[in-house]
Amino acid sequence: MFREVLHDVTNYLATQSLLVQTISWLVIILLLIVGFYLLVSLLFFPGMYLFNRLTDKNKSNSLSREELLLGQLTLKIHGDSVGEVMEVGSQTARSTYPARLYREKDRKENVLLEKGTKVIIIEFDDQGVAWVIENKNA
């Protein structure tokens, strides 16, 4: 079947000019490459889907937000400004996050927490900002 189709195409193209023959063969080769690519993609898709489902894509060196409890300021926080806190409470990779004062009273009183101050990370908001208070036990 394939040989018959190839023979018919070859006979038809033999009657055409060299430019038409060249363009036609390029189109045929391109279609064969695209067809082969689609066939291979369809064959490998189920396996890759299964592989992605079985592997944990969210595994990294960063910690979950529940594990972040203790931190140290790497940029000062003054009143309602945004500083930066580095998580230091675990034995794994250290991560830094933007930080703000948790207590409304501290923000209104323009409390200053200097760089290097030990803090407790209370929570994270939707933008990833850590809300902190000073760790008076450290």
What 3-state class would DSSP assign to 133? Answer: strand
Q: Which residue has the tokens 């902190």?
A: 132
pLDDT at 48 over 90: no
Predicted structure pTM score: 0.50
**Tens-place pLDDT, residues 49-100:** 888 777 765 555 455 555 557 889 999 999 889 999 998 866 666 788 999 9
DSSP letter string, 50-98: HHHHHS-TT--SSPPGGG--EEEEEE-EETT--EEEEE-SSSS---EEE
Phi then psi dihedrals of residue 4, to 5 deg: -65, -45
Q: Which residues touch 111 (CB under 8 Å, ≥6 apart)?
A: 78, 79, 101
Q: What is the rounded average pLDDT for all residues in the chain?
A: 84
- Report in angstroms the alpha-carbon separations of 48 from 24, 37, 137: 35, 15, 51
pLDDT computed for residue 58 by the predictor:
57
pLDDT computed for residue 32 by the predictor:
93
